[in-house]
Amino acid sequence: MTFYFAPGSSSMAPHIALHEIGAPFEARALSFAKKEQRKPDYLAINPEGKVPTLVVDGEPLTEVAAILFYLAKKFPAAGLLPDATLETEARAISWMSFVASTLHPSRRRGLKDAVEAFTAADQRLGARDWALGKYSIADIHLFRLFWRNHEWLKSEGATFPRLDAHFARVMARPAVRKTIEAETAAGYELP
């Protein structure tokens, strides 16, 4: 597997999952500042010029949720889907859709929308330690968006006690620390 990512971007979520599953992969960092995602070599792999892209047996797979779901199903021993029931899979997709459609774009719409979106996520998490009851791809996806926004939201006085506790639990995972170290070494270029 070859994984194309931009440090600190949404591609961080599948990067964490790759470290969680422990399967060998080649990581290729792309620089947004240098517009490497727009170069012909990369556009031949992903014509949309977005990250992430996971190339498996020569075939590209794109979109965070799809890559997370693929990795969880392909490597079930990693436990990134707590069980293989239809209900659990549907809840995972529901969480990942919520993260992608509600949390992700909220920052661009401004502080008010971001606070509303993350308040909804905090309430949705409820008293559970993990989105699906056990650590999963839904937690990885949720973590990455909160990781990206939590300092900004805190600096504005917003509080999310359930998300803060979730954040601390996810940060304690070795695969997460390994991913952050790898992405820090590659260099963050996000605003």
- Domains of the chain (ranges; CATH) run 2-78+175-186 (3.40.30.10), 86-173 (1.20.1050.10)
Per-residue confidence of the chain (191 residues) as pLDDT tens digits?
999 999 989 999 999 999 999 999 999 999 999 999 999 999 999 999 999 999 999 999 999 999 999 999 999 999 999 988 999 999 999 999 999 999 999 999 999 999 999 999 999 999 999 999 999 999 999 999 999 999 999 888 889 999 999 999 999 999 999 999 999 999 877 55
Rounded to 10 deg, the angle between the 64-74 and 86-98 helix axes is 150
d(CA 21, CA 109): 35
Alpha-carbon distances, residue 42 vs 32, 57, 163, 189 (angstroms): 12, 16, 35, 18
For 150, other C-beta atoms within 10 Å of its C-beta total: 17
Whole-structure pTM value: 0.95
d(CA 191, CA 95): 26
